[in-house]
Amino acid sequence: MSPQTRLAHARRRQRGRWRLPRLEAAEAERAMRNYRLQRRRAITALVLLFGVLGALPVLFALWPGLDDIRFHGVPVSWLVLGIVPYPLLIALGRWHLRRAERAERR
């Protein structure tokens, strides 16, 4: 057993059982409001994510000629599938993070 693992096990025995913090009524209401807002925003981000990723097969079905067009010897459909989603996913993640942080600051 590594020293870090041994230390982690020793700390767990010293602390005892973890207890759920008790919130006052006003704090509990604020926490639930924040939870609901975060959940709505997460669902919005997920819908956009699945919309973007679900649009790719539709794009390929509507324009089958993308397989014939080549860019530096690589079919454009491969480039669209392999490159385009990642900047969109990064942008969606950053957008969602900013919205979540803004909601927590309220």
The token duo for 27 is 């704090």
Q: Are 36 and 94 in contact (CB under 8 A)?
A: no
Name the nearest CA neighbour of 31 among 46, 43, 47, 20.
20
Predicted structure pTM score: 0.63
Nearest 5°: phi and psi at 7? -65, -40
Q: Are 70 and 78 in contact (CB under 8 A)?
A: no
Nearest 5°: phi and psi at 72? 55, 40
> Per residue in 6-36, pLDDT tens?
777 776 666 667 677 788 888 888 889 989 9
Q: How far, in Å, CA of 51 to CA of 78, rounded? A: 19
Helix (H, G, I), strand (E, B) or coil at 74: strand
> Per residue in 55-101, pLDDT tens?
888 988 898 888 888 989 988 888 888 888 899 899 999 999 999 88
* Residues paired with 70 in a beta bridge: 75
DSSP 4-18: HHHHHHHHHHHH---
